[in-house]
Structure 1
Amino acid sequence: MRVAFVGKGGSGKTTMSALFSRYVASQGAPVTAIDADINQHLALILGVEQPPEPLGAHLPELKEHLRGANPLIASADVMVKTTPPGRGSRLLRFADLPYSVPTPEGPRLMVTGPFGEDDLGVACYHSKVGAVELLLNHLVDGHGEYVVVDMTAGADSFASGLFTRFDLTFLVAEPTRQGVSVYRQYRDYAASYDVPIAVVGNKVHGPGDVDFLREHVGDDLLTWMEHSAAVRAMEQGRSFTMDDLEPANSEALAVLLKHLDAREKDWARFGAQAVDFHLRNARAWANERTGIDLATQVDPGFVYGPASLG
């Protein structure tokens, strides 16, 4: 299952991504966390001193690997972030996710990589995030396997089709007007694409904060995290394990996992949206960039999901 954490900058979505990844691992399940935020802090929170090789630095190799023997893709040079798989493409199983490192609490970590000096003023961060979109397009994950993605802050997550690559999106919202404003934006955008979302309240200090979230978020409020001294210690770099987390907050993480596990994998929707966003990007910029009609890369006979593994 793939899950994204989104929210306003400072809402705590990176911390929530880390806590959820750790919780899933503590239940004995395999989980890979991916830092797809322009501010690369997930490694720090997960206790990794040396982050893995950034995906953005290996995009040409990733494209060549995923292209495989797909006859509709002439070369890796004409693959873009939205290029969908087809018959002959090299698909990824969960265990095949590349460029990851283990973390002390169990999850593996992948990162898109930060801006470098050569990027400043000339590159868009979504060129790096595109590596994640391409990987998820080619990933065939199974039940009980988890990919957790820490997304860019705010509604900027909608700047690419990556927001449709998940089984569920958790929106982290503080009990403030600014916190719920991002929720409204995300709710309205997501509704147009049948993207399921659930709201996780964060930094909740009491019943008044819960009432505020219920008033502004309604039934989309799934659960909430209380203000946590243990989490604050973790964010300050002090020793932390999941056993240090307050019982109410541990239960909130359990609610998130149960809600995610209850979802049915919709491979048909996933495939249709992959093709739709590829065609949109082709018309908007990619045909001109590559010099070919990228609609020819779509394989109408390809079946998304486990059946594609043969």
Structure 2
Amino acid sequence: MKIAFVGKGGSGKTTLSSLFIRHLVAHRAPVVAVDADINQHLGAALGLAEETSAALPALGAHLPLIKEYLRGSNPRIASAETMIKTTPPGAGSRLLRVREENPVYAACGRSVALDGGSALLMATGPFTESDLGVACYHSKVGAVELCLNHLVDGAGEYVVVDMTAGSDSFASGMFTRFDVTFLVAEPTRKGVSVYRQYKEYARDFGVALKVVGNKVQGEDDLEFLRAEIGEDLLVTVGQSDWVRAMEKGRPAPFSELEPGTGRALELLRETVDGAYARRDWRRYTEQMVHFHRRNAESWGNAKTGTDLADQIDPGFVLCEEPAEPGPLSPPRSAARPSPQPA
């Protein structure tokens, strides 16, 4: 199951995504965690020292390796250089799985020990001084999108992605890559504004969006969120002494997390597990093809000097088991922010 945590900067999405990862690991679930935020804090939230977190290998820096591995023997992809962030898999492509060893995980992932087990952590990498004025952050998260397009995950397996703040993820098709998107919102006008924007952008693409109200201090905060968000409000959480101690570098055992926060995390997991029965691999594949065509026409063809539509395998459907071949149909489209180059 693929899960995204989104929200405005400072909403607490990294803290909540790290708590959810800890909760999954405490229940012995296999977890791949991805820090796809421009501000790389997920490692520290999972207990890594700042210098260790900063030294995590960057997915963006290993993009040639990732492309070469994923293209495999796919005859529609002449070289790794012609792959872009939206390139879909086809016959002959290599796929990633949560519970396996592969060159991508070996180069870009690090095991993080947590109460009850460990999670594999990967990060896009920070925005460096050499990037200033010559690159956009979407070139880094493009590696995450490419991996998600080639990742096959099943029930009881979890890929948790801490996304970049605000609505930047709509600059690509990555927002459609998740079974559930948890939007973290504070009980303020600014807090719910990102929710409204996200819901509007996502409405034509079947995105399962649930809101987690954070920093809720009383009934007035709760009523505000209920009035502004309605049925999309899944659960709320308040201040946590456990989190405060963790942020000071003195974390208690995860079993000592406040019961209320623990119940909220359990509800998040139940929501994710319930989404598995509604998963539609054909629609998932159609959406990645849709955004690949858009990116190809917008900038990809010009950048690579090839017609990237030729990379699309019309008989291929990404799924846990081989699917019967069948033509893919384009999903409904709507006006959205222009795609950005990988």
What is the deviation of 1:28? 1.1
Distance 1:181 1:125 in 2: 23
Residue 102 of structure 1 is matched in structure 2 by 111
Find out whether 1:21 has 2:21 as its counterpart.
yes
Say whether 1:10 aligns with 2:10.
yes
Q: State the SS of the aligned residue for 2:9.
A: coil
Matched residue, 1:131: 143
Return the alpha-carbon distance in structure 2 between the equivalents of residues 299 and 57 of structure 1.
Answer: 28
1:212 aligns with 2:224: yes
For residues 166-186 of structure 1, give each alpha carbon's deviation from its aligned partner in whole angstroms, at most 9, with x where no partner exists.
111000000111000110001
96-105 or 249-258: which moved more?
96-105
The secondary structure found in structure 1 opposite 2:99 is: helix
Aligned partner of 2:312 in structure 1 is 298
Aligned to 1:307: 321
Q: List 4+ stretches of structure 1 deviating above 3 A.
A: none
Counterpart residue identity of residue 304, structure 1: L
What is the CA deviation profile of residues 95-122 of structure 1, one whole-angstrom value per residue up to 9, with x for unaligned ones? 2461211222122211010012211111
Matched, 1:283 2:287: no
Given that 2:4 and 2:181 are in contact with CA atoms closer than 8 Å, whether structure 1 keeps it comes out as yes
State which of 189, 192, 204 in structure 2 corresponds to 1:177.
189
Cross-structure match for 2:133: 121
Q: Give the Cα separation in 1 of the matches to 2:252 and 2:186.
A: 23
CA deviations over 1:4-55 (Å, ceiling 9, x no partner): 0000100000001100000011111111110000000001111123243111
Cα distance in 2, alignment partners of residues 307 and 256 from structure 1:
27
TM-superposed deviation, 1:210: 0.9
Letter in 2 for 1:45: A
- Cross-structure match for 2:156: 144
User: 68, 75, 91: which one pairs with 2:72?
Assistant: 68
Alpha-carbon offset, residue 309 of structure 1 = 9.1
Range with greater deviation from structure 2 (103-112 or 142-151): 103-112
Q: Is contact 1:3-1:147 (8 Å) kept? A: yes
Q: Is the 8 A contact 1:203 1:228 kept in 2?
A: no
Counterpart of 2:169? 157
1:186 equivalenced with 2:195 (yes/no): no
Q: SS at the partner of 2:321?
A: helix
Contact 2:243 2:251 in 1 (8 A): no
8 Å contact 2:14–2:42 — kept in the other structure?
yes
The answer to whether the 8 Å contact 1:70/1:89 transfers is yes
- Give me the TM-score of the superposition, normalised by structure 2: 0.88
Q: Which amino acid aligns with 1:268?
A: R
Aligned residues: 310
Q: Gapped runs of 5+ residues in structure 2? A: 325-342
What corresponds to 1:88 in structure 2? Answer: 92
1:66 maps to amino acid: L
3-state secondary structure, aligned to 1:35:
strand
**Does the aligned pair in 2 maintain the 1:91–1:309 contact within 8 Å?**
no
1:283 Cα deviation from its structure 2 partner: 0.5
**1:41 maps to what in 2?**
41
From 236, 240, 249, the counterpart of 2:261:
249
Q: Please give the alpha-carbon distance, in whole angstroms, between the structure 2 residues aligned to 1:204 and 1:71.
A: 53
CA distance in 2, matches of 1:102, 1:240: 20
Contact 1:81/1:133, CA 8 A, preserved across alignment: yes
- In structure 2, C-alpha distance between the alignment counterparts of 1:249 and 1:102, rounded to whole Å: 25
Counterpart amino acid of residue 91 in structure 1? L
Cα pair distance change 1:101/1:164, threshold 3 Å: same
Is the deviation greater in 3-12 or in 159-168?
159-168
Preserved CA contact (<8 Å) 1:48 1:104: no
Query: Which stretch of the first structure deviates more once superposed, 104-113 or 215-224?
Result: 104-113
Secondary structure at the residue paired with 1:87? Answer: coil
Q: Secondary structure of 1:90's partner?
A: coil
Q: Report the AA paired with residue 19 of structure 1.
A: L
Say which of 280, 301, 305 aligns to 1:266.
Answer: 280
